[in-house]
Structures are given as C-alpha cells and as structure tokens.
Structure 1
Amino acid sequence: MTTAMGQRVEGGATAGLDPDQLEAVLAPRGPVCVLAGAGTGKTRTITRRIAHLVESGQVNPEQVLAVTFTSRAAAEMRERLASLGVSGPGNSVAAQTFHAAAMRQLRYFWPMTFGDLRWDLLEHKFRMVARVAREVGIDVSDRDLLRDLSSEIEWAKSSAIGPDQYADAAQRAHRDVPTDPRTVMQVFAAYEAAKVAPNGDRLLDFEDLLIYTTMILQSDPSIGEEFRSRYRSFVVDEYQDVTPIQQNLLDAWLGGRDDLTVVGDANQTIYSFTGATPSYLLDFTRRFPDATLVRLQRDYRSTPQVVNLANEAIGKARGRIAGTRLQLVGQRDAGPEPVFAGYDDEISEVVGVVAEIRKRIRAGVPASEIAVLYRVNAQSEAYEEALAEAGIDYQVRGAQSFFERPEIVAAMRRLTSLAGGPPPPMQPVDAVRHALHQVGLTESEPKGANARARWQQLLRLVEIVETIASEAPELDFAGVVGKLDERSRMRHAPIGGGVTLSSMHAAKGLEWDAVFLTGLHEGSMPLGRASKTVDEVEEERRLFYVGITRAREHLHLSWSLSRGEGRGTKRRRSRFLDALVPAPSAGLDLEPLPERTEPDPDVLKALTVWRKEFAESHEIMESNVMSKTMVRTIATAVPTTLEDLAKVRGFGRARTDEIGAAVIAVVDSALPGKTAGRK
C-alpha cells in the first residue's frame, strides 16, 4: 500500500486508495475529522488529501500547514509529500511539529509586539528549577525531586494551568504529586518569575513557545491577519494527543475559520499524564456540526488474527472513548493465532520468551523485526541478560541499557567501593540493600515519576543480587558484587539490527513482524498505581491495545504468577486478558498434569543434576535453563511424551522444541519401568 520513498505516485493523489481513504481525500475544504484505526493508512490518507487539494487547485502548497507531534513523524510526512510532488523547492507544504512551527512564527512576530526586548530558548528546565528550589528552601541534592518538579511544571503549562491553579487541578487530575502541592506552586511561581530579566528580556521554555505565539496572534489583529493570509489550510495528525495549549494555538491559527483536517484515534490515547486529552477529537463534530466524518477501519498492518484480538481487547473499554470505538477489519492473509503463555515466575517467563524468539529467528524472522514490549523500563534488564546469554543482539529503545542507566552506574560505583573494604556485618543481600539506601532505594515506593523510576531500577538490581546469592550461597559480599560486575560486563553492546526492547509507550507508532507483550499481570498491566479510577484503568487498557496492534503477524502474550523462584504464586494475570485467553479445550493447558500431587524424588534429583550440567556445558545460569519451580512441576507431572511436556504449566511449546527431548530422556532414565503404559 505504501509508495516507495522519492517516487511520484502514478495516477495522482487518489490512486490505489480504498473507499474510506478516498472519501477522506476527496472531502471538500472545511472541517474534516478522520478517525483512523491502527494500521489503516492514516499518514497515507492525510498526505494524499493535501496532494489532492493542491492538484485540484483548491489551495496553494505554501498555504498549507501540517502539524504533528514528533520530528520523526514530521519528517515522514515531508517525505511522503515530496513523493507526491507537493513538497520541494518553491512548491512546499509546511510539515512540522507544533513546537517547530511556533518557534518559527515567534521569531518573526516577536519584534512586532515586544520591540527591542529579546528572548532565548530555555531548552532544559532542570537548572532553573534547581535554582529557584534552592531559594525556597528545598534540598536540591534530591535530583529526582527536581526532575519531578520540572515534570509537574511542564504538565501544568501544557494544560494551561497557572501556579495559583496548580493544587486544585492536580487533585482533580489525580496527579502523583512528588511533594506538598503548595511547595510545587511556590516553585512553579518562582520559576516563571525567574525567566524574566529586570530589563524585560525573557527565557522561554518549550511550552512558552506555544503560549506566546498564541498570545501574539490573538492580541494584535494585524499580526493575526498577516499570519492567516499566509496559511489558509491546516492538518493535524494524532489529534487525540493534543494538549490545551496546542489547541489554543490551533484556534489562534484558524482565527474563526474552519479549513481544518484532523486525524486521530481515541483508542490510542495513552499520554494523558503529559496533559494530552482526546476531548478535542471527541468533540470535533459538536464544534463543527457540518464537518465531514470519515472512519478508516481497514487494517493493512496486521493479520486478521491479531486484528480480531485487538478488537476484543478494546471492546471491553468503558467510558466516553468507548463510544467512538473503531472496529478494525483485517486485510492481510490469515496468520498464526496469538500465543498466550502463563509462567510460575518471571525467570521462567523470560526464558520462555527468549526460547520463542530463537524459534522465530530460526524460522526466518529477522531479529530486527522482533520486539519485546513491557510496561516499565526496569523490566528490560532480564531480557537484556537472557538475550545476551543466548547470543542474540538487541537494542533498547527509548532508554539506555540497564547497566548504563545513571542510577545503576551510581549504585555499581558504590557497591564496588564498599566491596574493597572490610566485609559488612550482615548477609550479602541485606548489605546491598543497605548500601543502596544511599542512592535512592527506600523501603517503600516513593512519590513522583522520576523518583519511582529510579526506585524500580534499584529494586531490580537487588533482585539480581538475590538471584546471584541463591545460586552461590557461599559467596560473601565482595564475591556477590564481583559476580554482579561480571554480569554487567557480559552484555552485548546494543546495535541497530537486533531484537528491540521497548516500553509500550515508546513503541507507539512502530510495528514489527513479531511482538512479545510481557509482564501481563495485575500490578504491571494495569500498573498498580494506575488503578485508582476508571479513567486510569481505561488508559492502561488502551496502552495494552497499542501493544497488540504493533504486531504484523506473530503475537505472543505472557505473564508470570510470582516475581521469583520460591516466592509463591501471589499474582494473577491481567484483567485485560479475561475472555481473551482460549479455554484449555482450545489447546491451551496451563495446569500441571494431574497424575501426582508431590514431585517424584528420583525425577526431581535427576532433573536437578541435569539442569546444573546443562547450564555448565552451555555457560549459562541454571535459572536460564528452567527455574527450580519448573523442575519441581515437571517432577510432579512426570511427562513422558513431548506432547505432555508442552502441557506442563509454564513450559510450553517453545521450550519443548528447545530442550524437550533431553528432559523426557532424563525423566525416562529416572523411572525405568515406572512409566510403562503412559506413553
């Protein structure tokens, strides 16, 4: 469906479009709202619409302003417009981000309003926030608090909320306020004042670019008229992610006119925490009663199996957005059914996922067309290690690899320093926990997004230490830290062509042949702190939907019932999987085989010895072969065929293909003559 980059489309802007896309492209000038589901060709449609308006003489290309949210999306739009012949030297549609467009306009119009006063861009808030925080008596050594204060100021400004309005607005929005709201208000007010010099010169942050441009266009009719004589037709991509100040700027651009095309999907609203709101998309036809409304529901990205699962998942949505639901219709040939896999613990889940990745690679799927998606970045570490152990290259999207993250670098530096001194008077794991208190590992989860992210990373580091200590109980503190350092140095350097590891948020707008949605248990999906209100749970559901719709062909959904070996099955799979997971009669059996209730001692011993020998021969950790819990489960079920082994809860087909024959051989050798008649 896509046009080769740089090639002009034969047959003009309407060539090769489906009926719905064609309706959107041919809609008359005026208000047009395109509800475009995942994989339905929204960028193709809006660029063809622009090209049609130009080709038909309805608008000059220089009079069109198309805006989106990321530089990558704007560049893609420009490339597609160039291939259509409507973006180039002397014949160019402006395709920019909101901020890039505002900056360009502000540089031109500023002198007309402010005369000789100057402004400079404040690219980062952190230093300014730190300065004013110190002045109001805040401990500026807490860098996480400073980052969270910066984030709160950014959210408030994006939401068109001033310092005096912050506390009430934060309460209504259920903000995770990092400190007392009055303190945030005080810092916010001081920050705004500090940006204005005594002579009137100003520092403007990125939100100010939009705010000041809006103010100038609205306050001076002659400036507004000059702008509107330049731009007459507007297109907004990803309209469900517009913030109040972006909408205010769009209104100033329009100046009461209605030559506006918006494209969005309320089901992909996942950035409410930044101030984005789908209300403008949902209310578009109320604001413009004569608007043309087009729904794009033909999905060209994913197989019908993936599309059907996505529809089922979002079909459970509640609230106002649910009323705008798009029912996607898959256009590709049939593919494999999505795979659901439950595991006893996180280690088993990681091992099972990596085994399935190896299977996909052997089947011909390029590693670069495989993605592992998770809810929070701290979950990447286990997959980084397992992929490195398996010799599979990977890249971490939207974040540094685990041992390169600043909080982990600081933690390793501290642990290494302490390991060179006298041994601490406590067990190694307790000593590590105590040492990490100095770099942010508190007893309970802290407030504030940045502080919490640091805490999650440090907690993951402790879990790694617990694994090391359990596998080598003879090690002292220095030995455990040495193993930890060795583990950090084992990692492959991330490269561009490997398996992608990404949070679900960072994966939006991307797609792969094979996608693994991991950690789908309560507390992770939905995130525990995001379960206070229906709106928060529904945003998590939409994030789950976004994750599903990243897959073109292969989709693997997994969860685990505990954090680690021997910790018990204290979790349940995500509520979003209810009614999605096939019943056991459909071929998915997540329960142990029923023949025994306790492990056979001979099989348990044989499997334990085999696991150790297999790990040593392959130079991997025993837990990466299978967990202790899995060893006991198999010794309890005593499977004697590959089919029975694949049914053991948490083992699955992928590992059966990898090591199933060896496991069955061990079971048979441990029980000579006892398993006759079971095959």
Structure 2
Amino acid sequence: EKDYPGCKVYRLEQNYRSTKHILSVAHSVVRNNKQRLPKKRWTANAKGEKAKVLAFEDQIAESLYVVTSIREELHDNGRNFCDFVILYRTNAQSRVLEDALRAAGIPYIIVGGVRFYERKEIKDVLAYLRLICNPKDSISLKRVINFPLRGIGDTSVEKLEQFAQESGIPLLEAAGRADEVESISARIEAQIKQFHNLIRKYACLRVELSAGELARTLVDEIGILRKFKATGTEESYGRGENVGELLSAVDNFSKRHNSNDLEHFLEEVSLITDIDSWDDRSNAVTLMTLHSAKGLEFPVVYMTGLEEGLFPLSRSLNTNEELEEERRLFYVGATRAEERLYMTWAARRLRYGEYFENLASRFLEEVDDRFVERIDLRRTYRERPHTEHPRGSTNGRRQRQEETMPAYEDFSQDAQSFYVGCEVRHPSFGLGKIVGMDGSGETAKLSVKFYDVGVKRLLVKYAKLETVG
C-alpha cells in the first residue's frame, strides 16, 4: 500500500473450514497482534461446539486424555483415525504422545518429521548406552566413536577392526590397545584410547548411578547439548530438546517399572522400534508440529503443550515480532480444526529428567471465554499467582520462565564443602551462588544461580566447581 497508494485492497476474510466458535477462538488471540492489517474473519458454517481448554497435572495425564478422547470420538461419532491431528510446538513433545498412542494400539504417522526413536541424535545417545551395557556391540561403537567429532576417520576404524579380527578380541578392547596398531598415528591413537576409557568408566558407573543419572552425566561429559546450543539454529535447538526428552524417558521408565537397570530400558526401546516398523498409514492419527500444519485440515484437532516458555517459546519473548509470529502460529493451529478443537496444557512437565512448573500460555488467557469451555483436570487445583503481570506484559513472565526453564547443561563435580549461600566458580558459567542443595557429599545436587547465565542444576561428583573466597 505504501509503494502503490492508489491500489485497491481485497481482504480474503471468509473461512470455509472451521465452525464459528473455532474461528472466534483463533481470532480472539491473533487480534492482539499490532503488526497486522485490520480484518475480521467470518464463516457461513454452523456455530458448532465450544472449543475446550483443559489443564492437566503433567504431560502423562495430558497424553492419556488425548488417547481417551480419540477413543470416545471414534465410538460416539463414528470417526476414523485419519480424522484426528495432534499438534505441538517442538518435535521433542511427540515422545510422550507416541508412547500413549502406541500403548493404546492406535496407529499414527508423523508428518514433516520422523518418529522419536528414529531421530539421529536419539540413535546416537542410545548407541552410547548400548555400548556401555554391551562392550561387544561393534555396531554401536562404530556409530559413536567419532561422535561428537574426534578426528577418527573410517580408515582408522578399519585398521582397528582388522587388528581386532587378527587378535580375536572385541572392537572396544582393540580400541584400548590402539597403541599396538602401528599404522594409526599417535594423535588418532590418543583419541581412540580416550574414547575407550570413557566407555569403560561409564560401564563401571552403572553400579553406582541410577539409569537416569548415568544417562544425564554421560550426555554432559560428551557435550552433545553444548554442541547443539552453540550451533544456535532452530534445528539444533530442537535436537537438544529431543536429547533432553530422551533423558526424561529414561527417568520415567525407571519410575514406572521401579527399575534402575539401563538394559531393561534399552530392551523396551528395541521393542518400540520393532513395533514402529509396521504401520497402517492408510488410516492413522496424524502427529505434527504447528509449522508443518499450514494448509491442512482435520475434523478434530488437539493443540498440546500450551504453556509459557513452550508455546510461545521462551526465546520468542525477546521481541514483539517473534511473539506475534508465535501468535500467528496459534491461529494456524486452531483453524486446522473443522469441527472440534481441544487445547491442552500441563501444570508441570518433565524436561531433561526433571519436573518444571508451568503457567498456562498467555494465548489461552487471550481466548474469549464466550467461545470455550475451560476444564481443570489437575489432581490439585493451583491458583495463578496474584503478582502476575497484566496481560500483554512479558517482563514478569520472562523472569519466571528464565528461572524455571531447564538448562541445556547439567554438570557435576568432585566433592568439596558446599552450602547454600556459598559463592562458586565454574569454568564455563563463571561466578555464581548456591541457592539450593539436595543431598550431601559427592552425590549432592546443587542449584547454582550464575550471575551471567542464570540457574543451573549440578551434580557435585562430576562437575568442575570451586569455592570462591
């Protein structure tokens, strides 16, 4: 309009897909964007049922409700599996939803992505865990001996394999004797032996640490999350979140089965991947991120994970432009629904192996109550804090979110004399103060508020903290 002031503007305002209630839900949120042309969407479709906003205790309860609701829709309304879509903001959220659908025997497909346990970063971490449990697993060893990059190329691995065959020993044992392979350079030999020592160390730690603690400490030491975070792309953030979700899966397995045996978890994962190799794609529930949903439509839509810091993403709160893009994404998700729309959130969510308290997304607050039915299905109802900043203000929310969102790093360390209020220094995070402590001695877990990067959770036995003053 600025470039061509005499042009005539035609606004495409009619929606042919959704009911009046669903369209009103979407409009009541997106109208809060300031950088948009004024327009009012309308539809000639029926008013339809009110959308539902549902609060749950955690992500397990949320996923079980989705499965139960799908079953009820199938039974009561004669729907097919292909009538449903489950939407989420980040790929990592699919894991718990996949588990619930699989347990219920409901076929599903993931559009615009791959199933959780088929993602590269998940396969890489699982290969480490399998090798720790079974030192003779040469396939897993070859997958991760150069991940993260150690400068160990295919030629060096082939020489190591030849040495192992000639000596009649497993490949991992050959790695520990790399100095006996004359054709491998001293630099590569050192990297191979360092890898061997890493695997052996964690094989010994299996009797000292729980499955969840071992997996988290391993991920910390090999630096996968730091690598993803340093890359700084949307894709790398997503990969980091997937690894964090895998750590949560290990913890959740231990709690469900009252078992800290890592092998049992790996056996379950193997069973899952075998089941996933069969899939009736002609009639299945669809799972996808909100970004992948543009242009599609389904009779029934579940928008999950509507929590501050997750949707909208915490990093989108830095600028109005990014926040408005998240709001447009909400509009896209809501208007994928033709007949029924369910919007869900969890009061706490397991991320990186720990539970974090959540606030409902500001988008749910912006929805006009005339068009939704709000249902609280938590075991214990929690009032929103009275000190909450007014709608539209991000400062209070951002501060709360920075304090509660999980960090990409979770370090640990040698035993020293630590106490709440003690000042410490970390080689990467700098100076900070201990604000919480769980346990004592080498197994103590510390919450440290670093002056530059915020709160981090640290395990004393393996981190590199030193006291100051």
Q: TM-score, normalised by structure 1?
A: 0.42
Q: 1:524 is matched by which residue type in structure 2? A: L
* Structure with greater proportional helix content: 1
In the alignment, which residue of structure 2 is the partner of 1:440? 224
Match of 2:312 among 511, 519, 526: 526
- Is it true that 1:347 corresponds to 2:63 in the alignment? no
Match of 1:578 among 361, 365, 372: 365
Whether the 8 Å CA contact 1:395–1:496 is kept in 2: the answer is no
Unaligned 5+ segments in structure 2 are: 136-202, 382-469
Match of 1:369 among 45, 64, 83: 83
Distance apart, 1:435 and its partner CA: 3.0
Deviations 1:431-458 (A, max 9, x none): 1123334371349954332322221111
1: CA distance between counterparts of 2:271 and 2:204? Answer: 19
In the alignment, which residue of structure 2 is the partner of 1:470? 255
Q: 1:440 is matched by which residue type in structure 2? A: I
* Structure with greater proportional strand content: 2
Distance apart, 1:471 and its partner CA: 2.0
Distance apart, 1:586 and its partner CA: 6.4
Match of 2:92 among 378, 387, 398: 378
5 Å matches for 1:419-458? 419-421=133-135, 422-424=203-205, 425-437=208-220, 438=222, 440-442=224-226, 445-446=229-230, 447-458=232-243
1: CA distance between counterparts of 2:47 and 2:7? Answer: 36
In the alignment, which residue of structure 2 is the partner of 1:515? 301
2: CA distance between counterparts of 1:569 and 1:381? Answer: 17
Whether the 8 Å CA contact 1:295–1:326 is kept in 2: the answer is yes
Whether the 8 Å CA contact 1:385–1:491 is kept in 2: the answer is no
Flag the 1:474–1:589 CA change in 2: closer, same or farther, 3 A.
closer
Match of 2:3 among 287, 291, 295: 287
Distance apart, 1:354 and its partner CA: 1.4
2: CA distance between counterparts of 1:441 and 1:430? Answer: 16
Q: Which moved more, 1:416-425 or 1:499-508?
A: 416-425
Whether the 8 Å CA contact 1:393–1:492 is kept in 2: the answer is no
2: CA distance between counterparts of 1:572 and 1:586? Answer: 18
Flag the 1:288–1:474 CA change in 2: closer, same or farther, 3 A.
closer
2: CA distance between counterparts of 1:413 and 1:567? Answer: 23
What secondary structure, in the 3-state scheme, does the structure 2 residue paired with 1:339 have? Answer: strand
Q: 2:343 is matched by which residue type in structure 1? A: L
Whether the 8 Å CA contact 1:440–1:454 is kept in 2: the answer is no
More RCO (CA 8 Å, sep 6+): 2
Whether the 8 Å CA contact 2:52–2:373 is kept in 1: the answer is no
Greater Cα radius of gyration, structure 1 or 2: 1
What secondary structure, in the 3-state scheme, does the structure 2 residue paired with 1:509 have? Answer: coil
2: CA distance between counterparts of 1:500 and 1:592? Answer: 29
2: CA distance between counterparts of 1:519 and 1:431? Answer: 28
In the alignment, which residue of structure 2 is the partner of 1:273? none
In the alignment, which residue of structure 1 is the partner of 2:419? none
- Is it true that 1:310 corresponds to 2:26 in the alignment? yes
In the alignment, which residue of structure 2 is the partner of 1:296? 12
Flag the 1:444–1:473 CA change in 2: closer, same or farther, 3 A.
farther
Deviations 1:540-563 (A, max 9, x none): 111111111111111000000111
1: CA distance between counterparts of 2:376 and 2:262? Answer: 42
Flag the 1:449–1:310 CA change in 2: closer, same or farther, 3 A.
closer
Tell me which stretches of 4 or more aligned residues in structure 1 moved more than 6 Å: 565-569
1: CA distance between counterparts of 2:20 and 2:349? Answer: 34
1: CA distance between counterparts of 2:242 and 2:374? Answer: 37
- Is it true that 1:543 corresponds to 2:329 in the alignment? yes
Q: 2:51 is matched by which residue type in structure 1? A: P
Q: 1:295 is matched by which residue type in structure 2? A: R
2: CA distance between counterparts of 1:377 and 1:568? Answer: 19
Deviations 1:631-656 (A, max 9, x none): xxxxxxxxxxxxxxxxxxxxxxxxxx
How many residues are aligned here? Answer: 306
Deviations 1:253-309 (A, max 9, x none): xxxxxxxxxxxxxxxxxxxxxxxxxxxxxxxx2222232211122211111111111
Whether the 8 Å CA contact 1:344–1:569 is kept in 2: the answer is no
- Is it true that 1:338 corresponds to 2:51 in the alignment? yes
5 Å matches for 1:172-183? none
2: CA distance between counterparts of 1:593 and 1:572? Answer: 14
Distance apart, 1:409 and its partner CA: 1.6
Match of 1:403 among 117, 122, 137: 117
Q: TM-score, normalised by structure 2?
A: 0.60
Distance apart, 1:484 and its partner CA: 3.4
Whether the 8 Å CA contact 2:55–2:375 is kept in 1: the answer is no
Whether the 8 Å CA contact 1:347–1:564 is kept in 2: the answer is no
State the percentage of identical aligned residues: 29
Whether the 8 Å CA contact 1:411–1:439 is kept in 2: the answer is no
1: CA distance between counterparts of 2:333 and 2:213? Answer: 37
5 Å matches for 1:316-327? 316-318=32-34, 320-321=35-36, 324-327=37-40
